[in-house]
């Protein structure tokens, strides 16, 4: 069963996640036992993300205080969102960028969008996509990011102000202030992008969307949700919202 689950998930899960998948199959083993089976007897190891390239920071129009202050919990949906960028590559070396937004309520991806340039326009389109994917947002919404020029630009600051989004920012050079986004991008690289070659922008877009909206939101157990998927945690009492969420 370990070998089957390992290959079904393309070798992305380690012994901790394997324990969760086995429990779903009514097989209960300790992490130590699973680690022994995987590493010592079967030689199965999860993949590792490659290091991302350096980043050149632009001029900041306005920097906001860290209102989140590493409180990565939310009592209600659509009250605390986190966002960030990451690098994506095609086989010919072409570089693309992904801007994703996750809801800290259940760690679900509410928006994911790729682009050829890392600009404030891409961040604005990501926020618009996230808002459009959700029912009417009634509560005050806080959006946390790093101090990248895309988030501190005049265009993005004025856009957030126009739709009454409160901005919050990590301390410069301190990724722990946006740990949930760092974890999501690590998972995206480890469990999808590092496993395949992508020859076109279309292939890359499809892979990222499938990962975010199908695998991560609907199929992958998350420890923050007590091993429920983000979908299960988000809609456990709102079955009628399924259609809206699937169309995100």
Q: Looking at 4-13, 14-23, 151-160, 199-208, which range is the least confident one?
A: 4-13
The pLDDT value given to residue 59: 65
What is the per-residue pLDDT across 18-48, written as a single tens digit (0 to 9) for each? Answer: 888 888 888 988 888 988 888 878 877 765 5
Contacts 24+ apart (CB under 8 A), 35-40: 37/2, 38/2, 38/6, 38/14, 39/15
The pLDDT value given to residue 243: 43
What is the per-residue pLDDT across 95-113, written as a single tens digit (0 to 9) for each? Answer: 999 999 999 999 999 999 9
Does the structure show a pLDDT above 50 at 248? Answer: no
Mean pLDDT of 68-77: 95
The pLDDT value given to residue 137: 84
Q: What is the rounded CA–CA span in Å between residue 222 and residue 205?
A: 23
The pLDDT value given to residue 126: 97
Question: How far from 183 is each of 81, 128, 179, CA to CA, in Å?
Answer: 14, 23, 6
Average pLDDT, rounded, for the chain = 87
Residue written as token pair 């996750």? 102
Mean pLDDT of 70-81: 95
What is the per-residue pLDDT across 150-186, written as a single tens digit (0 to 9) for each? Answer: 999 999 999 999 999 999 999 988 889 999 999 999 9
Mean pLDDT of 142-146: 97
Mean pLDDT of 110-138: 93
The pLDDT value given to residue 247: 46
């Amino acid at each position: 069963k370990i070998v089957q689950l390992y290959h079904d998930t393309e070798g992305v899960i380690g012994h901790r996640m394997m324990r969760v998948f086995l429990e779903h199959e009514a097989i209960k083993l300790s992490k130590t036992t699973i680690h022994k089976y995987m590493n010592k007897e079967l030689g199965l190891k999860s993949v590792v993300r490659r290091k991302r390239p350096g980043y050149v920071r632009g001029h900041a129009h306005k920097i906001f205080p860290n209102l989140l202050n590493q409180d990565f919990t939310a009592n209600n949906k659509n009250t605390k969102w986190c966002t960030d960028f990451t690098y994506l590559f095609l086989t010919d070396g072409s570089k693309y960028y992904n801007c994703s937004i996750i809801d800290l309520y259940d760690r679900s991806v509410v928006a994911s969008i790729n682009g050829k340039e890392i600009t404030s326009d891409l961040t604005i389109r990501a926020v618009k996509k996230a808002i459009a994917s959700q029912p009417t947002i009634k509560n005050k919404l806080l959006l946390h990011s790093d101090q990248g020029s895309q988030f501190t630009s005049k265009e993005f600051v004025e856009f957030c102000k126009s739709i009454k989004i409160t901005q919050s920012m990590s301390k410069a050079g301190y990724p722990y202030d946006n740990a949930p986004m760092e974890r999501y991008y690590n998972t995206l690289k480890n469990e999808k992008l590092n496993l395949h070659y992508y020859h076109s922008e279309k292939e890359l877009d499809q892979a990222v969307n499938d990962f975010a909206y199908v695998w991560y939101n609907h199929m992958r157990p998350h420890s923050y949700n007590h091993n429920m998927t983000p979908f299960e945690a988000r809609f456990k009492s709102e079955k009628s919202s399924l259609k809206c969420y699937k169309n995100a």
